[in-house]
Chains A and B, each alone.
Chain A
Amino acid sequence: MTLRLYLARRVLMLAPLLLGLSLLTFTISRLVPGDPVGLAAGPQASVEIREALRVQFGLDQPLPIQYLNYIRGVLQGDWGRSLYTRRDVIEALGVFFPATLELTLAAVILATALGVPAGVISAMYRNRIPDHIARVISLFFVSFPAFWLAMIMQTVLGRHAGLVPIGRRFPVIMTPPPQVTGLYLVDSLLALDFAAFSIALNHILVPALVLSFGALASITRITRASMIEILERDFVRSARAIGIPERVVIGKYVLRNAFIATLTVISLNFGWLMAGAILIETIFDWPGIGLYAVHASLSLDFQPIMGITIVYGVLFSLVNILTDVAYGILDPRIRYG
């Protein structure tokens, strides 16, 4: 099967999953005891005003009709409006989504940059001191409640040492780089604005680092395990026997083979870190969809929550598909099918 056909099939298979997901979140949103409209209208609102609101949001229709209306809207780019802010969900998602994507990507890159070398070292010094140290360190950091560690680091590095800003993506008084991707780090580079790049980097460093800790242990562990498996293969002995330097054997032959297993774990972690970003965004006041999700859930504002879940679902599924494509690039023996 060609890559293009494979991609088309995978994307098509997404549709029923996302439909199921939307049905699930719709069901959840109608489980809410009490009256979200009443809450949104405020205690002083008269019965007429509540009824008007209910009609305005289509909540007077039977449930199946409400669901069909919602799906039709989603397909047409109308994802409903927040009960509280009256802001269009799709518009808010467009503003908040790049912030979360940037934070998650930065954390995944950091976790890979820290976890893979730790796993390689562990495998090379298997069951010796460096191995044990790497193991304890990764378990040590993964056990922290991320929101707590974020708060401590924000205070120590930001407030006391003054090394980094204490929150947000960019200083409020400054204009962010012209939007192309919405990722400030990329946009500032595209605009060749290196001052903005360093400001954005400064803002993202600590949140991304704290977030990356959550993925450290599993990336280290899987890299170590698959490195050890590959190290025992015959071709490694042959490579060493014909005098290929150890650095090349490890870096080029063993790691490349071992990286396929690591890649699976990295892509799984992408999903977990995206969820973990919810907590980190709360601490660092990072204007992403996590912060949006928390505000919406606390006020039982389900229109945004349904939209947010779909965005998470699409992104997570796309990452999985990209991972499968990457397998084929790393290992040409893998065929798409």
Chain B
Amino acid sequence: MVETSSKSLQQLRSEARSARRENLRRSLYRFRSNTLSMIGLAILLFIIFIAFAAPFVVPFPEDAGGATHFLDKLLPPSSEHPFGTDKVGRDIFSRVLMGTGLALQVGVTIIVLATTIGVTIGAVAAYFGGAVDDLLMRITDIFLTVPALVLAIAISAALGKGIINAMIGISLVWWPGFARLTRSLVLSLREEAFVEAAYGIGASHMRILFRHILPNAVSPIIIKMTTDFGFAVLTAAALGFIGIGAQPPTPEWGAMIEDGRHYFPEEWWVATFPGMAIWLLVFSWNLLGDGLRDVLDPRARR
């Protein structure tokens, strides 16, 4: 008896697994047949490759820091300096490429931090309901009363200028969107029969929430993470541009644009290339996110 039941359980498991695999295969097929998101993915992989390769391939790696070559200052693009040089003679091509890894790190950090905070708060609020829900959602509402950028500027300025504080500031204002989304997902999943079943066999609240409910809420959260990534990068660059985020000589693209702004348009290259780099990174994420939305949320695109 014990043997047959364990066998059928195994059978059930393998059936569930093959069904899941089938789903994944279909999703992958839909994703692959979406030309735009494949283009986005290709650009993004290329950017990630550059981020890793930059320290080894750029002509002047020391220019990513505070190196100065005043004799070569503000040179227009040439074969030696494809993107020209800045006000202290640093090679902008090297700086833009060396800044790629930083931009990716900034985006990943903000999104991961915001997701962690937001998903936890949203899930706990929806699962426990009542006073917990009320309290957590009122806090969320307060953050949502003002546009994120305004609070991000205030928090980052208060913490002190610098890229780390800018990332903390942006993450601290970015989570409410994730909290709202997760809360609405968990609210409906909480009523499902499998939750009742898990409760019936004595699973703990934490186990039900994190092992049974949240895995079923992953797709919309991933979509939001992808579509938010580009905007997180833009926001961090904006703080760098205002002068609150990354400080010179950090090769952060927003701060480089602010630097080049004073030489625009005569020495146009100083500000132009970092801006194009930001655009390419954000554009690739947006293409990717748009396609991912179609794949993971079938209602979104018909």
Tell me whether A316 is interfacial, beta carbon within 8 Å. yes
B53 CB to nearest A CB, Å: 23
Tell me whether A163 is interfacial, beta carbon within 8 Å. no
B131-173 interface code vs A (CB 8 A; 1 in, 0 out): 0000000110111011111110111011110000000000000
Query: Which of the segments B14-22, B74-82, B190-198, B240-248 contacts the partner chain?
Result: B240-248
Q: 6 shortest A-B CB distances, which residue pairs?
A: A275-B147, A148-B275, A275-B149, A297-B157, A143-B283, A20-B142
Write the residues of chain B forming the contact surface with A, with a CB cutoff of 8 angstroms: 36, 138-139, 141-143, 145-151, 153-155, 157-160, 230, 234, 237-238, 241-244, 254, 257, 261, 264-265, 271-272, 275, 278-279, 282-283, 286-287, 290, 300-302
**How distant is the Cα of A100 from the Cα of B254 in the complex, in angstroms?**
23
Tell me whether A250 is interfacial, beta carbon within 8 Å. no
Whether A28 lies near B275 (C-beta < 8 A) is no
Whether B157 lies near A298 (C-beta < 8 A) is yes
Whether A294 lies near B238 (C-beta < 8 A) is no
Question: Which chain A residues lie closer than 8 Å to B157 at the CB level?
Answer: 297-298, 300, 305
**How distant is the Cα of A279 from the Cα of B149 in the complex, in angstroms?**
10
Name the residue among B36, B143, B279 with the largest chain A CB count within 10 angstroms.
B279
Whether A145 lies near B278 (C-beta < 8 A) is yes
Whether A316 lies near B160 (C-beta < 8 A) is no
Place the interface of chain A in its size category: 35 or more
Instruction: Output the nearest chain A residue to B281 by Cβ-Cβ distance.
Output: A143
Question: Which chain B residues lie closer than 8 Å to A160 at the CB level?
Answer: 265
Tell me whether A144 is interfacial, beta carbon within 8 Å. yes
Question: Which chain B residues lie closer than 8 Å to A313 at the CB level?
Answer: 145-146
Whether A316 lies near B254 (C-beta < 8 A) is no
Question: Which chain B residues lie closer than 8 Å to A298 at the CB level?
Answer: 157, 242-244
**How distant is the Cα of A228 from the Cα of B261 in the complex, in angstroms?**
44
Interface residues of A in 115-150 (CB under 8 A from B): 126, 132, 135-136, 139-140, 142-149
Known contacts A151-B271, A300-B157, A300-B158: A271-B147 contact under CB 8 Å:
yes
Question: Which chain B residues lie closer than 8 Å to A274 at the CB level?
Answer: 147
Name the residue among B157, B160, B261, B265 with the largest chain A CB count within 10 angstroms.
B157
Question: Which chain B residues lie closer than 8 Å to A147 at the CB level?
Answer: 238, 241, 257
Whether A148 lies near B271 (C-beta < 8 A) is yes
**How distant is the Cα of A293 from the Cα of B151 in the complex, in angstroms?**
11
Whether B158 lies near A29 (C-beta < 8 A) is yes
A13 CB to nearest B CB, Å: 10
B81 CB to nearest A CB, Å: 21
A261 CB to nearest B CB, Å: 13
Instruction: Output the nearest chain A residue to B143 by Cβ-Cβ distance.
Output: A24
Tell me whether A32 is interfacial, beta carbon within 8 Å. yes
Whether B145 lies near A155 (C-beta < 8 A) is no
Question: Which chain A residues lie closer than 8 Å to B243 at the CB level?
Answer: 298
- 20 further A-B contacts with Cβ under 8 Å, apart from A135-B36, A146-B234, A298-B244, are A20-B138, A28-B151, A29-B158, A143-B279, A143-B283, A144-B275, A144-B282, A145-B278, A147-B238, A148-B278, A151-B257, A152-B275, A271-B146, A279-B238, A294-B153, A297-B154, A298-B243, A300-B157, A309-B150, A312-B150
